[in-house]
Amino acid sequence: MTYIVKPRLHHPTLPENQLGYTRRDYEGKISTLCAGCGHDSISAAIIQACWELDIEPHRVAKLSGIGCSSKTPDYFLGNSHGFNSVHGRMPSVLTGANLANRELIYLGVSGDGDSASIGIGQFAHAMRRGVNMLYVVENNGVYGLTKGQFSATADQGSKSKRGVVNADAPVDLVALALQLGATYVARSFSGDKQQLVPLIKAGIAHPGAAFIDVVSPCVAFNNHAGSTKSYDYVREHNEAVNRIDFMPRHDEITVSYPEGEVAHVRQHDGSVLHLRKLASSYDPTDRIRAMNYLQERQAQGEVVTGLLYLDPDPEDLHGHLETVEQPFNRLEAADLCPGSAALKKINASLR
């Protein structure tokens, strides 16, 4: 409950990361979500990933829209910058913040209602522009906060808690992100921390538009038989294409794997992803193949999880626009005003 203040004391032997912080230093307020909500597990995975990456909390900007999922940034990274925006508007606020200061790590948290309905236009443009961010959708197939109406990601034929059958075709945000040009695309499950934590770590390190769709059951309104976003359904139909181990640039790489089962992908910043292939023919650097694979497996009723696509050498929005390196708040008047001689030259070139 938000009115109960979290105790600041913790066990003196809690492990610390390289900055001397414990996991507790990456937590936020006490969650007000329903006990068992998948969203809380995603918050725990974000906390774990940031702690393991030795991220200084003040370097993170977490932004969200409206919904149970969009409330969660209050429950992690309590010492980071945060902005809870309007329903479906997180991507444009994040894009603006990123353009103003590229030095922060941008974490967008949204829901399936927030991103696939009211915010679908904003979602599309953030992906196509290559905004450097990790965008996480906590996907439960319903509008949890407003009591469980079907969202646009609910599968056709799936049943609501009251037995109503969804007649509409679903929006697949992973397929959209792939089509729109996102350079890191993954799907995971809130109940699979082993898979989710490295996916979040690699997504944060990715210098472009990274998107993770996390199936996250709503225990209050969408966890019954007939739902395709329940804990039981996802556990039974989860088809992982690979397992990731993420090695940040400064880590000594000591892990060894059996030959033929691992793909090593080096990212632009020097970090390395070790992908243990579970589906032997799967190549995560082939966008078209990823799109086909997704459709094929979905037609078989499978929920495909893992790292589905990665461009190891992406260009982000700042690269497209050739912006200056320095954040706006550090630019002086002299940097922003070219002077009358330069202005005259520009005007003359337009005559």
Ligand X SMILES: Cc1ncc(C[n+]2csc(CCOP(=O)(O)OP(=O)(O)O)c2C)c(N)n1
298 CB burial (10 A radius; 0-12, 13-18, 19+): middle
Q: In the complex with ligand SF4, which residue's Cβ is closer, 70 or 267?
A: 70
| Residue 166 is a binding residue for Mg ion (CB under 5 A) | no
Minimum CB separation from ligand X for residue 112, in Å? 4
CB atoms within 10 A of CB 184: 29
Minimum CB separation from ligand X for residue 209, in Å? 20
Q: In the complex with Mg ion, which residue's Cβ is closer, 98 or 160?
A: 160
Minimum CB separation from ligand X for residue 117, in Å? 7
Binding site residues, ligand X, CB under 6 A: 66-69, 87, 111-114, 138, 140, 142-146, 151
Binding site residues, ligand SF4, CB under 6 A: 33-34, 37, 39, 68, 140, 144-145, 218-221
Q: In the complex with ligand SF4, which residue's Cβ is closer, 37 or 154?
A: 37
What single-letter DSSP state applies at residue 328?
G
3-state class (DSSP) for residue 262 = strand
Q: In the complex with ligand SF4, which residue's Cβ is closer, 151 or 242?
A: 151
| Residue 314 is a binding residue for Mg ion (CB under 5 A) | no
| Residue 66 binding partner per list ligand SF4, Mg ion, ligand X, none, with a CB distance cut-off of 5 to 8 Å that depends on partner kind | ligand X
Residue type, 250: H
Long-range contact list for 95-99, CB < 8 A, 24+ apart?
A: 95/125, 95/126, 95/129, 95/131, 95/317, 97/61, 97/63, 98/131, 98/132, 98/133, 98/317, 99/317, 99/318, 99/323, 99/328
Minimum CB separation from Mg ion for residue 113, in Å? 5
Tokens coding 60 = 């993170």
Minimum CB separation from Mg ion for residue 176, in Å? 16
Question: Which of 90, 105, 12, 6 is closest to 54 using CA atoms?
Answer: 105
Task: Decide: 170 and 156 in contact? Cβ < 8 Å.
Answer: yes
| Residue 111 is a binding residue for Mg ion (CB under 5 A) | yes
Q: In the complex with ligand X, which residue's Cβ is closer, 71 or 102?
A: 71
Tokens coding 172 = 């697949």
Minimum CB separation from ligand SF4 for residue 145, in Å? 6
Tokens 């105790």 sit on residue: 7
Q: In the complex with ligand SF4, which residue's Cβ is closer, 33 or 273?
A: 33
Question: Which of 181, 189, 110, 188 is closest to 151 using CA atoms?
Answer: 110
| Residue 34 binding partner per list ligand X, ligand SF4, Mg ion, none, with a CB distance cut-off of 5 to 8 Å that depends on partner kind | ligand SF4
Minimum CB separation from Mg ion for residue 112, in Å? 4
Interface residues with Mg ion (CB under 5 A) are 111-113, 140, 144
